[in-house]
Amino acid sequence: MKRFFLYSLLLLAGATNLLAQQGSLKTGFDTDKYPEVSFVWHELNPAVIPAAEFALEEGAVATNISVQQMAQVDMPKHQSLIVLWEDMASQGAHMHDFSQRILLDFFPTLQASDEVLLAVFNRHTPGENVMRPLTDGFTSNRQDLINAVSSHQHSTATYRDRPLESDVFPAVNEALQTLQKRDKEGYAKSIVVITSGMPLENSATNSVVSVQQLALQYHIPIYVVQYASNHGPSTKVEGLANDTYGMNVTCVSANHSDNVEKGKQALRDFYSVLPVRYAGQDYRITFTTRSPRGHQEQMLKLTVAGFEYQQTFVTPSHTFASWVKAHVVLFILLVVLALLLIGATIFYIIYVKRKHEREIGNVINLQNEQMQQAEDKIKHQQQELAAYKMQQEEQVQREKAQQEIERLTQLMHSRNLYPRLQFIVNSETQSYEIHQLETVIGRTANQADVVIPDATVSRRHALIVFDGRTCRRARR
């Protein structure tokens, strides 16, 4: 007994800690409008939590927040259900009839895409599962479900020790394990339990606390219909439904038909809210942080409906605009320095360019001067060559002329060709024998070889030339 009590306390402490984790951060922190920060918080609780139930502390300092309930846009469209039917002989035929009638009314209303595993349970038999399936696994065939319900015979097993109590919690535990392994996208997972509301708890692992802890961990709501016409409802079973965010309906009327109708309506009500309650609620929480940028970790404590959650928020790195805003003076100095550097760079580029242009101009001028000097030198050499050639030609001409003079002179002497020139001056006849190749006749002695003192004769009046054959008057 002491060991059972100790186990119960440990599980209660674990469950209390788990219940404190009914919410979670659904998205990362949105810092696009920093220092305004927002995030989406998800609560398993399908009921809308008032904004006043939210509180936020940043670094142990309370911070004003804005809480906005978000539309549920990702609700599942299909259902994965496990229906647990308590079948205890000691509960009598009314309990069996109640369960059959409400299930036969419920299964035809299911959508064609929904899948259901129908199982019965009573007491655990060593070596066997508490949950005994009536269908071949999950099925979407509604007629198979109806046939399974109609053909099931009421159990005749009786128990000497606490005969009215069933292993409802172990059965739910097995159902949770089965549903957790079934991962189909777009399907809401839920468990529906039809029970008399008299659970057997004989160990720490066979308690409402352990089952509740597992249901919250797996995020699987539990819906309960209690047929408790012969006794009061079980608060533990009701608490299991409420604390896992399912629903509980208790049928306690003395009129069996009234209980059946209430049970039918309960299943219809459950089915209508399964997706909504499974999806929970999302809230966008917005606050203005006092923490500067710089990629620093900040501790946040979010309190929702009395439960506290610790979150780590990393401040974003500086953007250009945020850095400028935080360092205006330094930014201005940097801009001025940058402009000075740009100006100095432009000035240096212009200086280097002009210096290079001057150097290129000097090189070009030097090359032009060298080319001009070379051209002048070539021209001078050409002129010297031409003068030399002219001198040579003149020399040749002089030599030829001298040779011709010598030839003619020799010819004149060798042939004794000395013509005689006669002329009359003042009625007096005069004669002159020519002994040279060219003889000038004129009025003055300094310009003529033969002087004729007559006014009608010019100073160089005529030139007599010997051409090798005769003497003739040449043109002056």
Q: Which two tokens stand for residue 96?
A: 């069996």
What tens digit of pLDDT does each residue of 57-92 get? Answer: 998 899 999 999 998 777 888 999 999 999 988 888
The reported pLDDT for the residue numbered 229 is: 58
Q: Which two tokens stand for residue 454?
A: 């007559």
Report residue 284 CA to chain centroid gap.
Answer: 26
- Angle subtended by helix axes 208-218 and 168-181, to nearest 10: 20
The mean predicted confidence, pLDDT, of the chain is 86
The reported pLDDT for the residue numbered 13 is: 41
Beta-carbon contacts of residue 14 (< 8 Å; ≥ 6 apart): 209, 213
In eight-state DSSP terms, residue 124 is: -
Instruction: State mean pLDDT over 343-368.
Output: 91
| pLDDT band for position 205 (cuts 50, 70, 90) | low
Instruction: State mean pLDDT over 185-211.
Output: 85
pLDDT for 180 beyond 80: yes
Beta-carbon contacts of residue 282 (< 8 Å; ≥ 6 apart): 26, 40, 41, 42, 43, 69, 70, 72
| pLDDT band for position 344 (cuts 50, 70, 90) | very high
What tens digit of pLDDT does each residue of 135-156 get? Answer: 999 999 999 999 999 999 998 8
Which region among 35-39, 282-286, 395-399, 472-476 has the lowest average model confidence (pLDDT)?
472-476
What tens digit of pLDDT does each residue of 435-471 get? Answer: 788 888 888 888 888 888 887 888 888 888 887 777 8
Which region among 215-219, 306-310, 430-434 has the lowest average model confidence (pLDDT)?
430-434
- The CA–CA distances, whole Å, from 353 to 340, 341, 349, 359, 367 equal 19, 18, 6, 10, 21
| pLDDT band for position 203 (cuts 50, 70, 90) | low
pLDDT for 232 beyond 90: no
Q: End-to-end CA distance of the chain: give it in Å, rounded.
A: 171
| pLDDT band for position 294 (cuts 50, 70, 90) | confident
Instruction: State mean pLDDT over 207-214.
Output: 90
pLDDT above 90 covers a percentage of the chain that reads 43
- The CA–CA distances, whole Å, from 135 to 54, 103, 175, 259, 264 equal 45, 14, 14, 26, 21
pLDDT for 10 beyond 80: no
pLDDT for 260 beyond 90: yes
CB 68 within 8 A of CB 284: yes
| pLDDT band for position 321 (cuts 50, 70, 90) | confident
For the four alpha carbons of 195, 200, 204 and 206, in that order, the dihedral sign comes to: negative
pLDDT for 327 beyond 80: no
Instruction: State mean pLDDT over 377-403.
Output: 86
Query: Cα–Cα distance between 389 and 168 in angstroms, integer?
Result: 140
